[in-house]
Each structure stands twice: as C-alpha cells, then as structure tokens.
Chains A and B, each alone.
Chain A
Amino acid sequence: MSGPLLERFEDARERLPGHGLPWLEDLRQGAFEHFRATGMPAPTDEDWRFTNLAPLRKHDFTPTLLAPATRSPERPEGTARARIVFRDGRFDPAHGTPDALPAGVSVRSLAHVLRDDPDRVRARLGQIADPKSRALWALNTAWFEDGALIEVAGAAKLDAPIEVEFLQSGDGSKLVTPRCLILMGPGSRAAVCERYRSTGAGPYLTNALSEAVLETDASLVHVRIQEESSTGFHLGGFASRQEAGSRLQQISIALGSRLSRFEISSLLEGEGADCALDGLYLAKGRQHVDHHTTIDHAVPHCTSRELYKGILAGQSRAVFHGRIQVRPHAQKTSASQTNRNLVISPDARVNTKPQLEILNNDVRCTHGATIGQIEEEALFYLQSRGIGPEEARALLCYAFASEVAERIPDQATRDWLRDYVDRWIREPGP
C-alpha cells in the first residue's frame, strides 16, 4: 500500500493543513522521507516480529482528502460532555467545538489552529512523537489532516473527560490520519477520552497519533477506546513527555479492528514524575491485537507501572511488548510491568515479551507475564451455587477484566465497558 501513498504525497501536500508553514513543511517532508526509506514495518524488524502487516498490502488506502466524498458515518449519541467529533479524520463542523468549558481549557480542531494560530503548536507538534522513530508515526506526520488540540492551563481542573470522537465511515478504502496534541500546563488536571469507531463494512486504515506534554505537576488521565469495525485496520500511537511531579494515567481499551497495534512511548524527564499504563484487550475470531510500550526513565526518582490484560477467544492473537529503559543516572527508579492473558479458546495465541534495559543498580524493577485459562476451581465454586456454566464463565471473564476496567476513573465509561465485556463474552465469536 505504501507505493501509491508515496506517489500521491507530492500532489497532495498543498492541500494538507498548515501548508505554507515552513516548520511544518519541514516536519512533514522529513517524516515523508523517513517513511519512504523504511516503508511499512515488516516482521524482520524485531519490534514487529509478531505483527505482520501483510494483510494491508492488498489494499490501496487513500487519504481522506484525496478520496471521493462518501456517506457520513452515523452521528454519535448525545452527551452532556465536552466533545469534538471527527469524521474520517476531519473536523465535523456540524458538531462544532465544545463550549462552556472551564476557564483555561480549550478544545479545537488542529487544522483550524494551523490555519489561524499556528505558533500555538509549533514548539510541540512532532516534538514528542519523533516521526523518525517509527515508520507509522512518520506516516501519520506526513499525512495527518486533523485532530484535536487540547490545552489545559495551569489553574484548570477538569475531571469529566473531554471526549474526542473519531468516526470512520468504512467507505472508500480510506487512510484516516487523526492527530491529537494535548498540552497540560503546570499544575493542571484533566481527563481525555479518545474513541475510535466505525459503523461501515468496508476496509480502511486508521493511522492515529496523539502527543501529550505534562508540565510540572500536571495530571492527565488519557483513555483510548478502540472500537473500529471488523473490516478496519488500526495502527495507533501515543507519545508523552512528563516534567517533574506530573502524573499520567493512560488506559488503552482495544476491542475492535481485525488487526490493531497501539504503540506507546512515554518519557519521564522530570524528577518525581509518575506514569501508569493500563490496557484491556478483547479479541475473538481472527482478530490480532498488539500493544507495544516503551517507558524511558531518563531522570532519577520516577515511577512507572504497567498492567495489560487480555481475553482471547476464537483464533485470535495478542501481542504485548513492554520495554522499560532506565538510563545510567536515573537512580531510585521504580518500575513494574504486568501482562496477563486469559485464553478461552484452544486456538487463540499470545506472544508476550518484556524488555528491560536497566543501566544502573539503584532501581526497583519488576515484571511478570501470564497466559492462563479459566480456573476450574472457580468455575466449580460458582456452579455449585446454581450459576450456569455460561454465566459463570462470563462472570469470571469480567472479574478478570475488571482489574483494568476499575482503574478508569469515569463511572459512565466503566459502566459502558462492563456491559460491553458482558455482551462480548456471551456472543459467539465470528
């Protein structure tokens, strides 16, 4: 699929947002050249050993701006919350931008900001997620059309999540390239929920990338719900930089897509920063779901924690790769990583790989991975109280998932997820 994308870039660049801004031209050009040099990742790359993107080659995905207009995806249901909506990766003016936000909080279309107020993002855009570090981040940086810019100034505290909704039409074999930038000022607090959905039945590729900066003592909860359709591919990324005393909680809920990968790069560059990465993935049928995390402890006295849990049914496959880097002078680092998999079908498979690169002695670092089945003893216990085997299995699956689900601070999201998991377990796999 990369051939046509390369050929089209020259023609399309004038129509990309921010065209004419020299710094952005340079950023896109550099990313484009990097992608041209590397191409799509292949299993020969150690970081891609267990996720083969070969199925993408059969498709010729077209960036939304080059694709003919197609029917609109369905509207999201109403909500009282601050929400911004993108259709096939482009801002939906009908939905507008959230008003009534607390002072110091703004949520805007990145494309609008690049048109009206580009200096606002110049110092940050592309500076957290290095496009030359990963082919897919290069692809997004070269092509991104829109996404949300979320700014939270120092005094602002917002606990209800700001919802960023990406609705894919599933029509026209599109390449959808959402790009978000979250700027958390010193001492600020906010929650953001990115949601990727589709109601269409055709193939498409979402290549999303979000960047977040947490200045001193800022606190961000970032929930990312990937609910793409079973005909969609999803290759997403999240890159964060944290200054001293900041706290990040990133929660990935990966439910949809025939093949998905979510890459996280978290840099702890201020002392006392804390980063918690959580993930829950459910896969059935022939779904493939991959989480690839990198946490870089660059300075002393930072803490990181990871908990990824997945339930695998059918012939699905899950991949987890967790890299923790502790640099030579990053003493008193505390890092823990856990990946647990519940395999409920004999044909599902899991590849899990911790990768610890610890370059000093004064650290506390733990990791563990398990691949297990439903415990017969627990099943017997529930059945011995009259609960049928199907119900008992559903209960135990939810019990397994709940450890991650309960970490979502927002009650409405937790309730939604609980119902989703319950339905998912009871539905026979495709």
Chain B
Amino acid sequence: MAGQPLLELRKLRARVEGKEILKGIDLRVEEGETHAVMGPNGSGKSTLANVIAGREGYELEGEILFRGRNLLELPIEERAREGVFMAFQYPVEIPGVTNSYFLKAALNAVRKHRGEQELDAIDFLGLVREQAKLLGIDASFLDRPLNEGFSGGEKKRNEVLQMAVLNPRLAILDETDSGLDIDALRIVAAGINARWRQDGAVVVITHYQRLLNFLVPDFTHVLIDGRIVRSGDRGLAEELEERGYGWLEDEAASGESSRP
C-alpha cells in the first residue's frame, strides 16, 4: 500500500518582485529515496530548496506537503524541528557564536520539539565529536566562531556536520558539492550515506553530476526556467553530464513557442 509521501510539492509557484521563478512544480519524494534536481544556473534550483526551508520574501502558491502537513503554514524553525534540513549553498558567517554553542542550541530546540530530553554539555560534545570524526572534521572546528573565516570546503563540511547532528527526515543539499575537492566530496558523501536513515530522504540540488557518483540518486529531475522538464532515473544524470542542458533547454523553449 502506497503510504503518504515524505514530501510532495503540488503546483508550487514562487514569485519575487513580480518575477516568476518557480512556475508550477510537482514532485513526490518517498521515504528511503534519493532525488537529484539538476539544471542550469538561474533555473530556480536554489529557490526550490529555499522555499521548502521557509526563506521569506517569496509570493507562493500551491502546496508543500511534508508528511501530510502543509509547510507553508509553518514558520521556518518549526519546519526544521519537524525534520526538514537545508544545507546552504552559502552558509552564513556568524562571528561571536561558536560552532558548538550554535549546534547545541539547534539540537536541543529540535529535541525539545520531539519530546526528547535536552542534552547536557557532556553528552552533546560526545555526540558532536563522534559525528565530526566521521566527517573528517577536526575537533578544534567546534570551538571556532560559526563559519567565520572557514574555507568554502569547511563551510560545506560544517553544513553536513549540522545535518548529521540534527538527524533530519528530509535533507536538501543545495549545491553542497561546490567548493569541495574530490577527496572532500568523497568524505562528505560517505558521511551522508553512512548517516542516512531508512525513513528519510535526500534531495540533492546540483549543477554537476560529480556528487551523484558518490550519492546515487533513485530519480533525477531537470529544472529549466522554473519547470521540471524531464524526470528519469540516474541514467538521466549521466546523460546530462555528456550532453549538457542545451538540448533540454531547446526542447523547453520550443514547447513554449507561443511565447513572445
């Protein structure tokens, strides 16, 4: 019996300052699945991730159902507590707050929401050190101010560390591969794979196929000009790697030849 999907987008539209960026997205993500959303720059990939996470400033239509609840009715932090996690394309630097202080505040907010006991400093450090080790992150990383002065790769690893510690049901990785060299990519992907839960799902948003060598998608979707123009299996990702996006962009454009 097909249960409720973990995530379902229904006719999702997003506008910013009168400009339509997402033009009616339908997507179903079931538990245990890995989806890749690919597309050229400016196609709306990051907007899609941000809208699910709850970034403000968009006029939205349609529905984002997460375990049957419409996320559009939930504030940002409630979505996170319910189990939605977005790894930022550009993680924010916050001088003055240490990485571990921030992570502890986040984890305890999530645990409290789940009705779990908040972790004390010792239990928290035990957990976070273990996760850091799995991701090849030095423990000194935890005492540094959040993302301040981190290299691009360190920031991305830190996003994955946060994901590992918060243990979400749905992880959306927004261009997590950019800024990572091949070794870092391998470690990060291994960290995501090792951590992954059966009742969870991953949506990988990327421009390139290379992360997908390590994080194998069950489905691949191509987003062009705010629409999913094609969906397929991992073979589609490989095809895109060979042929680029041009042929799909041409198809998408010819399908809209009535446009001025």
Q: Which of A376-409 contact B (CB under 8 A)?
A: 376-378, 380-389, 391-392, 395-396, 398-403, 406
| A383 pairs with B77, CB closer than 8 A | yes
Quote the shortest CB–CB distance from A419 to chain B (angstroms): 14
Most A CB contacts (10 A, CB to CB) among B55, B107, B109, B166 go to: B109
Q: How far is the CA of A264 from the CA of B36 in the complex (A)?
A: 61
The SS class assigned to the A binding surface is helix
Chain A residues with CB under 8 A of B107: 386
Q: Is B137 an interface residue (CB 8 A)?
A: no
| B92 pairs with A383, CB closer than 8 A | no
Q: Is B48 an interface residue (CB 8 A)?
A: no
| B102 pairs with A386, CB closer than 8 A | no
| B76 pairs with A383, CB closer than 8 A | yes
* Contact mask for chain A residues 343-377; partner B; CB cutoff 8 A; 1 contact, 0 none: 00000000000000000000000000000000111
| B53 pairs with A386, CB closer than 8 A | no
Chain A minimum-CB-distance residue to B103? A385
Q: How far is the CA of A420 from the CA of B200 in the complex (A)?
A: 41
How many residue pairs between the two chains, A and B, have CB atoms under 8 Å in the bound complex?
80
Most B CB contacts (10 A, CB to CB) among A384, A392, A396, A403 go to: A384
**A384-B54, A387-B109 as given contacts; A377 in contact with B81, CB under 8 Å:** no
Quote the shortest CB–CB distance from B48 to chain A (angstroms): 15
Most B CB contacts (10 A, CB to CB) among A375, A380, A386, A403 go to: A386
Which stretch of B8-16, B93-101, B123-131, B221-229 is in the interface? B93-101
Q: Is B182 an interface residue (CB 8 A)?
A: no
| A398 pairs with B96, CB closer than 8 A | yes
| A395 pairs with B56, CB closer than 8 A | no
Chain A residues with CB under 8 A of B53: 384
Quote the shortest CB–CB distance from B232 to chain A (angstroms): 30
**A380-B55, A380-B56, A380-B76 as given contacts; A385 in contact with B106, CB under 8 Å:** yes
Quote the shortest CB–CB distance from B163 to chain A (angstroms): 10
Q: How far is the CA of A290 from the CA of B256 in the complex (A)?
A: 63
Chain B residues with CB under 8 A of A376: 56
| A386 pairs with B106, CB closer than 8 A | yes
Write the residues of chain A forming the contact surface with B, with a CB cutoff of 8 angstroms.
375-378, 380-389, 391-392, 395-396, 398-403, 406
Q: List 5 A-B contacts (CB under 8 A).
A: A384-B53, A384-B54, A384-B86, A386-B106, A391-B109
- Which 3 A-B residue pairings sit nearest by Cβ, starting from the closest? A399-B96, A385-B106, A386-B80
